[in-house]
Amino acid sequence: MNPRRRRLLIPGLLVALIVVVVVTSLIDRADAATDEPVAVLADARITESSGLAVSSAHEGLAYTVNDSGNAPEVFAVDLSSGDVVGVTTLRADFRDVEALALRDGTLWIGDVGDNRAERDDLALYAIDEPGRASATVAAKRYPVALAGGPADVEALLAPPDSDRLHVVTKALGDATVMTLDTGDLDPRSTTEFEATASGLPALVTDGAFSPDGSRVALVSYGSLWTIDPADWSILGRAPLPPLEQAETVAFVDDDAVLVGTEGADSPLYRLDLPVGSASAGGPATVATSVPDPSVSPASAEVAAASSTGVAVDTRTVALGGLGVAALAVLLVVVALRRGSSGGARRAIR
């Protein structure tokens, strides 16, 4: 091989090697920062956990519910073991339950999922907090609608010391907070959520108020967000642990939350609420409200964060870096082979 070509290619190989080492270190550091889950929902009946509420009346107890296509059941879960310790069956026909909210002894169940933005039968169900008991109950059903027409919703929030309920739309851009007063709910007529704020993070899959009402936690597919409910501005953001499909969040105290996922044997992680992170510069939004079917939810959120300068998950950056490094190594190897074959051809001549 030409010595001059070798001198040029050796630095390229060194750079590629350095990139691989650094990126691998980033991945290891991100993984090392991830705590073990506090519990795993291993009950075979819980396969699509899409709502989570932690009880303040029963220590170490939480509630979860499966989403569309499952029985109308609420599972009481012991957080120390992950075991189901009670099942409440509702006399109701759920279509796509996506959220739970618990306040003052009432468990609100949000049958508000609408992936195609076409439903005209959204509803909130209300039952007394069941505790560790198992029973079949009649739920109060309240028809609801969204101002501006159908939209997908997966987050239902109940601020403490209030009669209000909030939902957050799940959108690729300019997610909206909508609000109603529970005093306006009527089982015989539809009550409309009114838009009260916009510009929230993209692809919100759940949300909750802190017990003192001072902060809101929102979860998307790759991030945990801290929101100021006074003006719905972003206070902080942090990447999530490795989760199959993050779908649930609930406060365990004013500064920490549990975050969970869909799927069998789904873990629950306890995370400190992020405040003052580098992401607090603005919401992650995408400059379109029309979902692109070729874009996965996770990659859509990465694009959303990148479009506003918001830091993306370290693992995402690391994996991308590994891809770049691998490509660099491949190009260098190809160049070396070409150089060697060229020299051989010249020698034959």
Distances (CA, A) of 331 to 10, 81, 325: 12, 51, 10
Per-residue pLDDT at 342: 45
* Burial class for 18, CB neighbours closer than 10 Å (0-12, 13-18, 19+): exposed
DSSP, collapsed to helix, strand or coil, labels residue 183 as helix
112: its two tokens: 């508000």
Per-residue pLDDT at 19: 42
What is the C-alpha radius of gyration for the chain, rounded to an integer number of angstroms? 24
Per-residue pLDDT at 103: 98
Residue linked to tokens 């090697």:
17
Q: What share of the chain is helix, strand, coil (3-state, %, to 5)?
A: 25, 35, 40
Distances (CA, A) of 56 to 28, 32, 61, 177: 37, 31, 8, 25
Q: How far is CA 284 from the centre of its chain?
A: 13
Per-residue pLDDT at 282: 44
Q: Return contacts of 305-309, CB within 8 angstroms, 24+ apart.
A: 305/223, 305/279, 308/281, 308/282, 308/283, 308/284, 309/281, 309/282
CA distance 66 to 89: 12
Residues of the chain under the 50 pLDDT cut: 3, 6, 8-11, 13-33, 278-336, 338-349
- Degrees, nearest 5: CA angle 202-203-206: 115
Q: What is the per-residue pLDDT across 205-220, written as a single tens digit (0 to 9) for each?
A: 999 999 999 999 999 9
CA distance 210 to 208: 7
Q: What is the per-residue pLDDT across 45-73, written as a single tens digit (0 to 9) for each?
A: 999 999 999 999 999 999 999 998 899 99
Per-residue pLDDT at 38: 94
Of 135, 153, 131, nearest in space to 144 by CA: 153
| pTM, entire model | 0.74
- Classify domain 37-290 at the CATH topology level: Neuraminidase (2.120.10)
Per-residue pLDDT at 131: 98
64: its two tokens: 């979860």
Taken in order 47, 204, 92, 251, is the CA torsion positive or negative?
positive
Say if residues 255 and 215 touch (Cβ distance below 8 Å).
no
